[in-house]
A and B are shown apart, each in its own frame.
Chain A
Amino acid sequence: MNKQPELVKLIDTTLCTACRGCQVACKQWNELPGLKTKQLGTYQNPPDLQWNTWTLIRFQEYEDKAGNFQWIFRKDGCMHCTDAACVKVCPSGSLYYTPLKTVGIHRDKCIGCKECVSACPFHIPKYDAKTDKVYKCDLCYSRIKESHAPACVKSCPTGALTIGDKDAMIKKAYARVKELGSDANVYGDKFVDGTHVIYVLQFKPEVYEELPVNPKVPLSVIVWKDLLKPLSLLAAGGVLGGAFLHYMIHGPKYPDLPKDENTEGGK
């Protein structure tokens, strides 16, 4: 076949049991440490994605207006956008599109400017001050390019996580949504030119915590990318460019203020 390889990972939230095999498998493969946490009144821990946690199961107790209860589990992580804000803003070429159309990350090139952190509409990239670098899921690029499933997909017991050819996975997602009926919907194929991670959601997107209903590449990023970035890079190189962009968008403020520790992490 001459077709360009394009992979999509499908997260069917209606099959997830929140066993968190994926959350640990990710750390095992990517050799990410477990860090000290606190019990905050929820199973969700760490409370959010962080530099050492690239895939996170969010737990949410949801009761609809009629009083029907559902404990929602949603695996959060990089969506691998086709039109990825993080790649657009990255001044150093650390974030890049892989030949499989996923968003990879060359850690050695990362300069810790954190532009991607603020640009990402899904709040995915996380900065670690100790190494002064940004971290996020690369869809196990080292595995998928060798025809192996990403660690999370491989570990998933119930088929909530699957990966395959883009068209086939989108078709599969829509078939599942049809089977589920009601408010079930496919999330991810319609915006930022389509993501390479898509969801089957049981409820409308607005029900889910930390899930943007209409994610967009921020306008400032578009302005920057289309108008200013080439100039800036030309003038001052990547590092300065990053700082310039940062100043342009946010002013002289630190962009990734840690969240209040007592935030209920999606109970």
Chain B
Amino acid sequence: MQITRRGFLTMTGAIGGGVALSSLGLNLNPTRAYADELGKMDRIKIAKQVTTICCYCSVGCGLVCSVDKATGKIFNIEGDADHPINERSLCAKGAGFFDLTEANKHRLTKVLYRKPYGTEWEEKDWDFALSRIARLVKDTRDKNFTKRNDKGELVNRCEAIGHYGSSNVDNEECWIMSVKSRALGMVYIDHQARV
């Protein structure tokens, strides 16, 4: 949901005990003396606010990403005050959510390939990776396919390819992986639910 500016204000306005500062009858309109102190808040006011859900534990806290309309980049992430579970708050990992965005210089941005016996990663493009992986999957599957087991029962499976993951991707992605693995005849299928 792309919440409105007003939505953002209710989001950050909530203070301990659910009371907004402005509702305390305080005159909160002091002189704005120094521009450097206004920057971020002003940017938030004109930003696009997009809700998301935290990607760590399973509580499912809501967060609001503030996105600069000009650059399309996220520049601030805070808890979603409308969310009935976290009610704006976040733990250390949630509060640091911003460091998962591209602002983190360790993020992977290129397809990486390491050839057999290679000593380094090399950058490649998607076309290379997809066609090469498809070829490897097909060759491994065809070569190791078990049509019938030792008892002669039809099993149509491939035990030579394993799949692991993931409980930190979205449902629709999970379903795609679950179905893909079965269509390929894989049986070594698992993920973090077991560990």
Interface residues of A (CB under 8 A from B): 1, 3-5, 7, 10, 19-25, 27-29, 98-100, 106-108, 141-149, 151, 153-157, 159, 161-165, 168
Contact = CB atoms under 8 A, between A and B. Distances in A.
Contacts of B28: 5, 100, 144-147
B40 A147 contact: no
Nearest to A19: B91
B30 A19 contact: no
Interface stretch (B15-23, B106-114, B125-133, B172-180): B15-23
B79 interface: yes
Contacts, number: 127
Nearest to B12: A148
B40 A29 contact: yes
Given A142-B41, A154-B88, A10 B16 contact: yes
A267 to B, nearest CB: 19
Contact of A100 (B30, B37, B96): B30
B14 interface: yes
Nearest to A159: B16
Contact of B77 (A28, A153, A159, A168): A28
A143 B89 contact: no
Contacts of A100: 28, 30
Contact of B40 (A5, A107, A142, A168): A142
A23 B90 CA distance: 11
Nearest to A1: B25
B15 A164 contact: yes
B89 A157 contact: yes
B37 A141 contact: yes
Given A142-B38, A154-B79, A3 B25 contact: yes
Given A7-B26, A21-B94, A154-B88, 11 more contacts: A1-B26, A28-B78, A143-B41, A147-B9, A149-B15, A155-B78, A155-B89, A156-B89, A157-B91, A159-B17, A164-B15
Most chain B CB atoms below 10 A, which of A19, A98, A157: A157
